[in-house]
A and B are shown apart, each in its own frame.
Chain A
């Protein structure tokens, strides 16, 4: 089938993201990339765990001095909700409802921006309020690098989804851009998966 073919909800293939060879390749390639990212984040977690609470001298800021569970909880809820909203977007994509997909993607982006806002506030509070800067100790470097890399991935994901929404707003859904939306949504889920471990290992374990 030609990629620019026009469809109706009835003729739209049931797995549009894999209906072309290019879609199949992108699908597989992206999952493999996520496999590599699993190792990447595992390595950052390993570094964090090795350097947790390792500070130059007694009395320097450690995890129990810093983290606030209410904030971590809100951020978790926001990101988790953004994950389900992106699932809704894919549901509408499968049913060939372009406008509804775009709407749910927009909600996903807004929730993602909210999450980022909270995280920026949190980092600002630690650095300017508590004096817990990046160069403060080995622990601080490990914390900001792990959580910061996750935040960087969130920023990239938001940019990616927004670019897709803008770029395709006039084009509508096709077999050419369906895989693009699908793998962006996979990426977004993966970021949420990583966050589950972050809130568990960093914030919850930090307050035990």
Chain B
């Protein structure tokens, strides 16, 4: 059962535990937010600095993927228990999407 009620037998303790846990999760989210801003700045910086495009393009794509992983796992709680099926189907979508993208980058012009 994914929704185990926290149960120490003492309602006040349970409540305080939950509040603290929610607050801790919120701290994680804010850290993720800060990291996302940082990654965005780095990406924009890389482009503005005018590095060689064969470096910049894979680099900013990597930064985007990392940022999305943070957002999926923290903002959208994909790291939490009870998210196995969502994970399976998001990765499924990513696989099909990736195959599509790969196709359109390689075999669409003859």
Q: For residue B30, which residue of chain A has the nearest CB?
A: A84
**Among candidates B19, B63, B93, B96, residue contacting A200 with C-beta atoms closer than 8 Å:** B63
Q: Could you tell me the dominant secondary structure of chain B's interface residues? A: helix
Check B105–A49 contact: CB distance below 8 A.
Answer: yes
The answer for the CA separation of A84 and B30 in the assembled complex, in Å, is 7
CB-CB < 8 A to A59: which residues of B?
none
Check A31–B44 contact: CB distance below 8 A.
Answer: no
Smallest distance from the beta carbon of A121 to chain B beta carbons, Å? 20
Check B44–A73 contact: CB distance below 8 A.
Answer: yes
Assess A19 versus B75: contact at CB under 8 Å? Given A36-B93, A42-B97, A200-B64: no
**Among candidates A34, A50, A197, residue contacting B104 with C-beta atoms closer than 8 Å:** A50
Chain A interface residue number, banded: 35 or more
The answer for the CA separation of A45 and B94 in the assembled complex, in Å, is 13
Total of A-B residue pairs, C-beta within 8 Å? 141
CB-CB < 8 A to A3: which residues of B?
none
Which of A143-151, A158-166, A188-196 participates in binding chain B?
A188-196
22 A-B pairs (CB sep. < 8 Å): A14-B3, A15-B3, A18-B2, A28-B85, A31-B89, A32-B85, A42-B96, A50-B104, A50-B105, A69-B44, A69-B47, A73-B44, A80-B36, A80-B40, A83-B33, A87-B26, A95-B19, A189-B75, A190-B76, A196-B36, A204-B44, A204-B56
